[in-house]
Structure 1
């Protein structure tokens, strides 16, 4: 099949991504019930489980069976696939591994489709709550088939924010604690969930009003960024420049809060 007709049906790509996410979700639920092995990657706080690997394999197998000339960028295996089509699937099979390993029921599967360097489709599945967030470029954002929209909160005093911390928090001063302390004194509240994909989707759905984080990887934000933008949100880097999933920092908001969040992030101790 030629490059021009490879993804001629966006509905086909969405259907494949949703089916792959649901397969992975079933694996995560089963392994959470039956038990799993845990290894450490680069540090004592950077975990990988048997469930990460099994879910990722199921996603990749399903997507490449449907689109064999596509590429893959996944958290555990890195780059894979042929990428002859100009399309690449960006996959986090278990966003929230530490939560999963501790039996804390807040984690997700994240799948995005990148076409010629732009993420145009996003699927994020919370397998515990059975909440499926989906979005396609120009088609809006959806939660279990219902349209979602960002909040209208316009001051930090009224805002509920979320953030996260990098795995090297113990080894570097660039660990987000300074930003956290400043936002804690400005916002109505701050949450730390442990799943960047769900953080972005919760801002998209109006459950949260803003989110910032440092030292992210492409698979952390690829799908959620599509959902957020299609729900009317705004996402940039800390300096206000257009967001790229290959950058290392992120600030996302409902839009009205964005200038105030950028201002806080620009402050120096």
Structure 2
């Protein structure tokens, strides 16, 4: 089994756990700062890591709920976000994702994002990106290439903290920027499922602040967008993990340039490059 196949199967396994568990009255574990995990987060992570450890026992692993295991400086590390959109899940909103990514020598070489409620899995081997639909409702499980498109003009903004670039720069300010309003239509999904949607042509772009290096939340989506041919940088137009923080993932260079201009204008500085 290739690493890409394993990433896809692991994400799909986690998605089945999420899909098969009820959200009503789900037990919560407080993580502080208003954040929490549910019993389903923990169960899905256990299932995903169980498969990964059986297939790749020599690798290292980081799960959102359980933390890291294996050598600290391991060349190969699996990143697992077992339920991205926990608050959505806990109130019965079916906008969540299961993210699995393999970081190898500082590069994501395999990744998958699975949607528990549509049966869709977005996956990449680090070179090409694909969408696989499960066999429910007569679908055959074949892969189709991901093709980014800005035609929808829909831009997802992540409004969840932290905001390391504040107060000079806040993604949320775009919501009241007249030029943004005239060019795009904002959306707030509150799940990194929306990053995969950029790769698939269902969103024109996605923006977030935050420190994203080796992030269990964002590694898979970033890899999908890069493999699909999107334009991906940090909020200042530099390489996404270069230290500036944040993410602009856009379907094409023109959309990216327009968003970068709007974001950069907040700081009164010229765009990077």
The residue aligned with 2:137 is: none
Counterpart for residue 199 of structure 1: 194
Distance 1:33 1:101 in 2: 5
- Please give the secondary structure, in 1, of the residue aligned with 2:68: strand
In structure 1, what is the equivalent of residue 46 of structure 2? 57
Any gaps of 5 or more consecutive residues in structure 2? Answer: 134-142, 268-273
Q: How many residues align?
A: 251
Is the 8 Å Cα contact of residues 235 and 250 (structure 1) preserved in structure 2? Answer: yes
8 Å contact kept, 1:165–1:175 = no
Report the CA distance shift for 1:34/1:211 in structure 2 as closer, same or farther (over 3 A).
closer
Native 8 Å contact 1:112 1:223 kept in 2: yes
Shift of 1:39: 2.5
Change (3 A) 1:248 1:42: farther
Cα contact 1:213–1:250 (8 A) shared by 2: yes
1:228 aligns with 2:225: yes
- For 2:4 and 2:16, locate their aligned partners in 1 and report how far apart those are by CA, in whole Å: 18
Alignment partner for residue 214 of structure 1, among 203, 209, 230?
209
TM-score, scaled relative to structure 1: 0.85
Aligned: 1:104 with 2:96: no
TM-aligned CA distance change 1:23 to 1:213, over 3 Å: same
Match of 2:160 in 1: 166
- Is the deviation greater in 82-91 or in 159-168? 82-91
* SS, match of residue 60 in structure 1: helix
Tell whether 2:255 aligns with 1:257.
yes
Given the superposition, is the C-alpha separation of residues 105 and 230 from structure 1 closer, same or farther in structure 2, using an over 3 Å criterion? same
Please point out which of 235, 239, 243 is paired with 2:240.
Answer: 243
Q: Give the Å deviation of 1:36.
A: 2.2
Task: Please list the CA deviations of residues 24-66 of structure 1 after superposition, one character each: whole Å capped at 9, or x if unmatched.
Answer: 122212222675201332222x221111111111111110111
> Whole-Å Cα distance in 2 between the matches of residues 91 and 247 of structure 1?
24
Tell me by how many angstroms 1:241 deviates.
0.6
1:138 to 115, 122, 127: 127
1:23 pairs with 2:28: no
What are structure 1's unaligned runs of at least 5 residues? 1-10
CA deviations on 1:145-181 (whole Å, 9 max, x unpaired) are 111110154xxxx721111122458xx7565322332
Asked whether the 8 Å contact 2:23–2:89 carries over to 1, the reply is: no
